[in-house]
Amino acid sequence: MEFTRKNRQLLSRIATNDRHGENSHYFDGWKAYDSNPFHPIHNPDGVIQMGLAENPLCFDLIEKWIRENPDASICTAEGLDKFKDIAIYQDYHGLREFREAVAKFMGRVGGNRVTFDPNRIVMSGGATGANETAIFCLADPGDAFLVPSPYYAGFTRDLRWRTGVEIVPVHCKSSNNFRITRAALEEAYEKAQRSNINIKGVIITNPSNPLGTVLDKETMRSLVSFVTDKKIHLVSDEIYAATVFSSPRFISVAEVMQDMDCNRDLIHIVYSLSKDMGFPGFRVGIVYSFNDDVTNCARKMSSFGLVSSQTQFLLASMLSDDEFVGNFLRESSKRLAKRHHVFTKGLEEVGISTIKSNAGLFFWMDMRPLLKEQTTKAETELWRVIINKVKLNVSPGSSFLCSEPGWFRVCFANMDDKTVEVALDRIREFVLQGKEENNHEADKSQARAQRWRKQNLRLSFSSSRLYDESLMSPHMISPHSPIPHSPLVRART
């Protein structure tokens, strides 16, 4: 958005800076998708959306439950007598049944190794609101949080925009599978201290977005001991906890704390139902702190983003149904595992590796061999090719602040099985054709002739046209011609 000088004077600094993060060129992928979205029948050559971490795989189970439980709604004959009480209920403590149901659910998702206290459940406007609230409670403008990279791009806005707090990335490397090492934390901390940056805490996402991996007990313990030593906070974003589909199991920071010497006042969890249940539209964010003062403060702040009482009522009912929850969690893991397997196997077959992952709604794809050179620029070029030629909207590693170019996050859960096939076909063709291009340049004509026989070449790969005319400038984003599906348009990707 262009700001006239007049506007700059009229509006706040927050309104006129770009810490909301939407002025980045990553929107190009979204624009390409929006102007040409894939549809199996109407638009089979369109762009397939693989940049959106959504979990729609179990709606059949949910819908069945809904049909069988009309009293979960305040609008049905069975539930209408509750309509008034719920419509006027604005207490920021939240419906007791809602808090109890969420606490129970969180416990189950953690394998029932921890019991969560309903009185520590505080609502927020989605995980987006939860992360911001946590920062408002823990840090002052100018303070900073250490965040291991690669990390969710939305943190740029959620943690920093209105809070004035900074992010100091802790760069993790593929050489040890992006492990968060004590050494890396210490180094980042010392460096910050030397630059007079006041580190107030560490934010981890476990399971990881974008890696899809879970943190092992050792790493968790090391993190807890690190923050205890430095007397700084640890915020654990556990919104993908129930998307773990194979071992090793998810270990919540709440579990690790139980048999460790640590300062509980430093530990806070962010949770949500957007990923685990597939309900991003319902804006169910949770702040769970072991610190009484923070719980109190966050609860008061929750007034700015409470969960609709109508939704609290529905979810209280749904998540209290033990049988449904058990079945849902099992099925969800099964289906995610299957989908993940189909993809990773398909990619393996064409020599594309991904980081070994067992959680999340995406995988972290290694396209480094396809880079012209190991630079961010080359990564961006490759990305534009993937969007415009292969027609897949994937997310480049640099948008997650990954320090190594060549990685891409690819979402696999937000489409049906047929679309999965199409996507895999496109990737296969691209890779194989790319391999052939290389061989052609290296002049291995014999091998090439043999391979070509088996090909079904549908793509034309003219590298001179890397920049498609369909790319629109960021200035297209205006209040009057919105681009509805942009990543930050979605409150969470």
Catalytic-labelled residue, pool 31, 200, 230, 275 = 275
Instruction: Please give the full DSSP string across 225-259, using - where no structure is assigned.
Output: HHHHHHT-EEEEE-TTGGG--SSSPP--HHHHHHT
Q: What distance in Å separates the CA atoms of residue 29 and residue 49, rounded to the nearest whole number?
A: 9
151 is catalytic: no
Bridge partner list, 167: 145
In sequence order, what E strands does 280-413 have?
A: 284-289, 353-354, 362-366, 392-393, 395-396, 407-411
Q: How many CB atoms lie within 10 A of CB 371?
A: 16
Instruction: Please give the full DSSP string across 339-351, using - where no structure is assigned.
Output: HHHHHHHHHHHTT
**Burial of 428 per CB tally in 10 Å (0-12, 13-18, 19+):** middle
Size of the site for other proteins (CB under 8 A): 100
How is residue 390 annotated by DSSP? I
276 is catalytic: no
Integer distance in angstroms from the first to the last C-alpha of the chain? 22
Q: Does 299 bind other proteins (CB under 8 A)?
A: yes
239 is catalytic: yes
**Smallest distance, other proteins to C-beta of residue 295, A:** 5
**Smallest distance, other proteins to C-beta of residue 3, A:** 7
Which lies closer to other proteins via its Cβ, residue 159 or residue 385? 159
Which lies closer to other proteins via its Cβ, residue 302 or residue 358? 302
Which lies closer to other proteins via its Cβ, residue 244 or residue 294? 294
Residue from 54, 166, 366, 429 in contact with other proteins (CB under 8 A): 54
Segment near other proteins (CB under 8 A); pick from 208-216, 234-242, 276-284, 395-403: 276-284
Dihedral (Cα; 311, 315, 317, 322), 10-degree rounding:
180
Residue from 219, 309, 333, 358 in contact with other proteins (CB under 8 A): 309
Q: What distance in Å separates the CA atoms of residue 285 and residue 271, rounded to the nearest whole number?
A: 6
Contact 316, 101 (CB under 8 A): yes
**Smallest distance, other proteins to C-beta of residue 287, A:** 12
Q: Does 89 bind other proteins (CB under 8 A)?
A: yes
Segment near other proteins (CB under 8 A); pick from 102-110, 259-267, 331-339, 395-403: 259-267
Q: What distance in Å separates the CA atoms of residue 279 and residue 55, rounded to the nearest whole number?
A: 8
**Smallest distance, other proteins to C-beta of residue 427, A:** 25
Catalytic-labelled residue, pool 48, 204, 239, 352 = 239
Under rule CB under 8 A, which residues in 103-162 are in contact with other proteins?
119-120, 125-126, 128-129, 132, 136-141, 143, 157, 161-162
372 is catalytic: no
Q: Does 23 bind other proteins (CB under 8 A)?
A: no
Q: Does 167 bind other proteins (CB under 8 A)?
A: no
Which lies closer to other proteins via its Cβ, residue 10 or residue 447? 10
Under rule CB under 8 A, which residues in 347-376 are in contact with other proteins?
none
Strands 353-354 and 362-366: antiparallel
| Residues with a known catalytic role | 152, 237, 239, 275
